[in-house]
Amino acid sequence: MDRLNKFINWNFEAHLRLGAFIRLIFIIYGIYHDRNFAVPYTDVDYKVFIDAAKHVYDGNSPYKRHTYRYSPLIAYILLPTTFISRCAGKKLFCIFDILIAVALKLLVERQLRGKKNAAKIANYSALFWIYNPMSIAISTRGNADSVPCLFVILSILFLQTDVVRGLRKCVLSGIFLGVSIHLRLYPLALSFPMYLSLGEYKINRSTPMLPGIVSLMPNMKQIILTLSCVATLSLLTLAMYASYGYEFLFETYIYHLFRKDTKHNFSVLFYYSYLTMDHLSFDVVKTILQIFEAIILFVISLAFGTKSETLPFALFCQPFILVTYNSVMTSQYFIWFLSLLPLVVHNFKMKPAKAFLLFILWVSAQGAWLFYAYLLEFKGREVFIFIWLKSIVFFCANIFILAQLIKSYTPYYGFGQINEKSDVKND
C-alpha cells in the first residue's frame, strides 16, 4: 500500500511521461501483434484513415476511400502517415489522449479551487484517465475519438473555470463545442445542458406565469455560447462543403443519422436490424426507442444541467445514454462518456467494494458479448442469438449502473475530503 501511495503521489509530469511511454509500448506491440495473430490489434478504421489521408495528400477527396465517414479534418490530421510512418497517426491520437488528462486535471482543480485537497483530487481524477485501459487501448489501436473528446473537455474548461473571464468564456467554449460537433455528432446532446447551466431559474409552483416565462428567456451568456457554437460549426461545415460537396454532408452526417449496421455490435437492436434490414421502410421499434432516449436526455438535462455545480454529471450522463440506446454501439463509443467520468468520479458517495462490483459487471457483460462475437467472426459459428442475448444483458447492465451512479452522486463529496455543503466558486 505504501508503494501504491508513493506511486500515486508522483509528480504529475512524471505520470504524463509514464502514460505516454505506456502508450508507445502498446503502439510497438500492435505492430508485432498484427503480424502474428489472426485477430488484429489495430482498429479497422485506422487503415481507412490512412487511405483517406493518402487521397488528401494526392489532392483528392478523402471520400474516395470507401467507408470513410468522418470529417476531412481527421484525414488532414493523419497526413503525417503518408510521409513519416504508418504509426504516426496513432502517436498523434495518443498526444490528444495525454492532453485530455492535462485538461481534466486543470478543470477539476479549478472547479474545486479553495477546497480541501482540491489539487490531490484533481490529480487522482486525471490519473483515472491516464491509466484507464480503455483510453490506452482506443488511442493505440488507431481510433480517432480522443480528438473530439479533447475539444469537449476544453469547451467545459472554458465554460466552468476562470481560465479566461467575462463573456470570452462563452465564446471560446462555444468555439470548441462547435469543433467537437463537427467532428462527431454526439456533443450536440451536450449543448443543451451547457446552455441551461448559464441560466438563472427561480421557478416554483407559486411563480406567476409571466415572470416564469421571462426567467426562461436566454441571457447574454447563453446567446453568446449558442452563436459562437453555431457560427463555428457552420463555418467548418461550409468550408468542407465547398471543398467536397454533398458527398461530405452525406458521409459525415446524413449517413450516421440513418445508419443501420446489420453486423454484430453491442447494441440491443443489432439482431432486430439484421432480421428486418430488407423489410422496413419506417422502423417503428427504433423510433420508439429514440423517443424514450430523447425523453431521458431531456429529463437528465433538467435535473442536473440547470446548475453549474452539477453540469459535469449531466454531461457525463448524456453520452452514456446516447451510447446505451444507440442502434449501433462499438467500444470506441465508450470513450465519449469515459473521458467525462474523471470530472465526476470524485463525487460518487459509494463504497469501494460496490464500485468494484459495478466495474466487474460492466466488464463481464462486455466480455461475454465479445466471446460470442469471436466465435461468430473467427470461428464461423451460428451464434447470432447468443450475441443478441448478451446485448440485452449489456443493455440492462448499463441501465443498472447508471441508476446506481445517479443514486450515489453527491456534489463535492471529493472522496470524503470535501464538505458536501460547501459551494464551488464559479466565475
DSSP codes of every residue in 104-169 = HHHHHHHHTTTSTTHHHHHHHHHHHHHT-HHHHHHHHTT--THHHHHHHHHHHHHHHSSSS-TTHH
**Residue 397 scores a pLDDT above 80:** yes
Distance in angstroms (rounded) separating the CA atoms of residues 20 and 402: 31
Average pLDDT over every residue of 17-29? 96
User: How many CB atoms neighbour CB 151 within 10 A?
Assistant: 22
Q: Which three cell numbers stand for residue 308?
A: 453549474
The residues that bridge with 348 in the sheet, in sequence order, are 409
User: pLDDT value at position 67?
Assistant: 87
Q: Kindly indicate the confidence band of residue 203, based on its pLDDT and cuts at 50, 70 and 90.
A: low
**Residue 236 scores a pLDDT above 70:** yes
Q: b or e along 292-324 (b: 16 or more beta carbons within 10 Å of the residue's beta carbon)? A: ebeebbeebbeebbbbbbbbbbbbbbbbbbbbb
Q: Kindly indicate the confidence band of residue 206, based on its pLDDT and cuts at 50, 70 and 90.
A: low
Of 85-94, 129-138, 228-237, 366-375, the least confident: 366-375
The residues that bridge with 294 in the sheet, in sequence order, are none
pLDDT 10s digits, 114-130? 787 888 889 999 999 99
Average pLDDT over every residue of 84-110? 93
pLDDT 10s digits, 274-323? 777 766 566 787 888 889 999 999 999 988 998 888 999 999 999 999 99
Q: Which three cell numbers stand for residue 413?
A: 463529496
Of 121-130, 143-152, 194-203, 262-271, the least confident: 262-271
User: pLDDT value at position 425?
Assistant: 43
Give the percent of the chain with pLDDT over 90. 59
Distance in angstroms (rounded) separating the CA atoms of residues 319 and 148: 13
Residues found in the chain: 427
Distance in angstroms (rounded) separating the CA atoms of residues 69 and 36: 29
- Supply the mean pLDDT for the chain: 88
Cβ proximity of 191 and 249 under 8 Å: no
User: pLDDT value at position 422?
Assistant: 45
Q: b or e along 376-402 (b: 16 or more beta carbons within 10 Å of the residue's beta carbon)? A: beeeeeebeebbbebbebbbebbeebb
User: pLDDT value at position 39?
Assistant: 82
Q: Which three cell numbers stand for residue 358?
A: 459495478
Q: Kindly indicate the confidence band of residue 369, based on its pLDDT and cuts at 50, 70 and 90.
A: confident
Q: At what angle do helices 146-160 and 168-183 cross, to 10 degrees?
A: 160
Average pLDDT over every residue of 88-99? 95
User: pLDDT value at position 168?
Assistant: 92
Cβ proximity of 202 and 216 under 8 Å: no
Q: Kindly indicate the confidence band of residue 74, based on its pLDDT and cuts at 50, 70 and 90.
A: very high
Give the percent of the chain with pLDDT over 70. 91
Q: Which three cell numbers stand for residue 92?
A: 498523434
User: pLDDT value at position 427?
Assistant: 43
Q: Which residue type is seen at 197?
A: S
pLDDT 10s digits, 178-201? 999 999 999 999 999 999 999 877
Distance in angstroms (rounded) separating the CA atoms of residues 398 and 404: 10
User: pLDDT value at position 423?
Assistant: 44
Q: Kindly indicate the confidence band of residue 387, based on its pLDDT and cuts at 50, 70 and 90.
A: confident
Distance in angstroms (rounded) separating the CA atoms of residues 279 and 256: 20
Closest by CA to 89, choosing from 133, 32, 50, is: 50
Average pLDDT over every residue of 15-38? 94
Average pLDDT over every residue of 375-400? 86
**Residue 131 scores a pLDDT above 60:** yes
The residues that bridge with 173 in the sheet, in sequence order, are none
Q: Which three cell numbers stand for residue 104?
A: 481534466
**Residue 240 scores a pLDDT above 90:** yes
Residues contacting residue 102 through CB under 8 Å, at least 6 positions apart: 16, 126
User: pLDDT value at position 420?
Assistant: 47
Q: Kindly indicate the confidence band of residue 332, based on its pLDDT and cuts at 50, 70 and 90.
A: confident
